[in-house]
Amino acid sequence: MLNNVLMPEYPQIVSLPASPEGVVAQLETYRGQFLREAESVEKAAQAGNAAELQAFRDGWLGRKQGLLAQLNEHWLKPAPGEAKKLIGQQLNRLRGEAEAAMERIEAVLEAARLQAQLASETLDVTLPARAPRGASHPLTQVTERILGIFHGLGYSLAEGPEMESAWYNFDALNIPESHPARDDQDTLYLGPDLPGHLLRTHTSPGQIRVMEQQAPPLRVAVPGRVYRRDAPDATHSPMFHQVEGLAVDEDLSFADLKGTLEHFARAMFGAATRTRFRASYFPFTEPSAEMDASCFACAGSGCRTCKNTGWIEVLGCGMVHPEVFRAVAKKNPVYETGKWRGFAFGMGVERMAMILYGLDDIQRFYSGDLRFLEQFAAHADGA
């Protein structure tokens, strides 16, 4: 029969022996068969083979067709009083042994499974670690540190193009045609092929581009390269980096600006840092200020880092000028309502890095000199 062909090992029930000795002898025979099979199934389990266990369990302990269930049905149930007791005891013993064997085999199987998993997931801890090669540039490190502080305050990140139109770089920022920042002296124009285009002189056009795209409330930081027509020396470079910040909401005030930037100064230079705001002028903010931080190197008593002033100039800032909102409103009418207030700030990354690391020559950042750059490897990645 098909069943037999598939499972030749299945124990088959024989009819109930007539004498108690016959019962005991037959159960002993079953027990022997069981123990032999258990041994072979256990061997298979040690090799990780679980397939035989199921057939073995079904054959002996299956709820209806298993041999023990059948003995129960065909031997125990119909047996008369005295014989019932004997058969019952014998069957219980056999069942106890069968269940214990099953548990043991399952444990063996589980151990084999674990062993196989361990073998396949082996990690060779003797392999030499791959030391990271190189490190991010000090300017990248400082930029990321600045951005990280504002990220912690809920600022998102935006970037704008380095090639800008005069409109974004100047007009929209309320920098009139006559302003000295527009002189050829300061600005690198892109020549007759691209009239009205230039290399951005600051990251402030990022303010305009962000507001054109996003309605308030917004808080955003804009890092990037900027260009000015300056001859390179110890403190000037025709290309340098800035981080711009902008917050716009319904009722932002100068107090919000101060709170934000004081937090920034403490996060950047240490918890004991004090700040002061000096009145200043930028065409795109009103009022405008420059923020100084007490010198982290001497705590304000005067040293080389602060050129004996006790203070370090950190950034320019102010409340967004209504003319700036008006310029933005040409493309994004949300800004027309007059209900928005904003503050903005901008800082130089090179300046910040030079102060933090006590450097006296901006040109070192661009020299590619490994003897210089390698000194910053230890600072990288939060180290």
Note the residues at the interface with ligand DAH (CB under 6 A). Answer: 202, 204, 244, 282, 285, 316-318, 344-346
Kindly tell me which of 141 and 204 has the beta carbon lying closer to ligand DAH: 204
Look up tokens 């073995």; give the residue. 56
Token pair recorded at residue 257:
């600006």
Kindly tell me which of 149 and 317 has the beta carbon lying closer to ligand DAH: 317
Kindly tell me which of 216 and 316 has the beta carbon lying closer to ligand DAH: 316
**Beta strand pairing status for 239-249 and 285-294?**
unpaired
Closest residue to ligand DAH: CB criterion: 346
- b/e code 145-169 from CB counts within 10 Å (16+ = b): bbbebbeeeebeebebeeebbbebb
Token pair recorded at residue 186:
């300061």
Widest CA span in the chain: 124
Q: Which strands, in side-by-side order, build the sheet including 239-249?
A: 156-157, 218-227, 239-249, 341-348, 311-320, 285-294, 275-282
DSSP 8-state class, residue 238:
S
- In angstroms, give the least distance from the CB of 379 to ligand DAH: 26
- In angstroms, give the least distance from the CB of 280 to ligand DAH: 8
Kindly tell me which of 68 and 175 has the beta carbon lying closer to ligand DAH: 175
- In angstroms, give the least distance from the CB of 237 to ligand DAH: 14
- In angstroms, give the least distance from the CB of 343 to ligand DAH: 7
- In angstroms, give the least distance from the CB of 334 to ligand DAH: 20
- In angstroms, give the least distance from the CB of 318 to ligand DAH: 4
Q: How far is C-alpha 200 from the chain's CA centre?
A: 33
- In angstroms, give the least distance from the CB of 248 to ligand DAH: 12
Instruction: Please enumerate in sequence order all residues whose Cβ is within 8 A of that of 17, keeping only pairs 6 or more positions apart, or say none.
Output: 23, 25, 26
Kindly tell me which of 37 and 244 has the beta carbon lying closer to ligand DAH: 244
The rounded distance, in Å, linking the Cα atoms of 94 and 132 is: 64
**Contact in structure between 224 and 206 (CB atoms under 8 Å):** yes
Kindly tell me which of 220 and 317 has the beta carbon lying closer to ligand DAH: 317
Kindly tell me which of 90 and 207 has the beta carbon lying closer to ligand DAH: 207
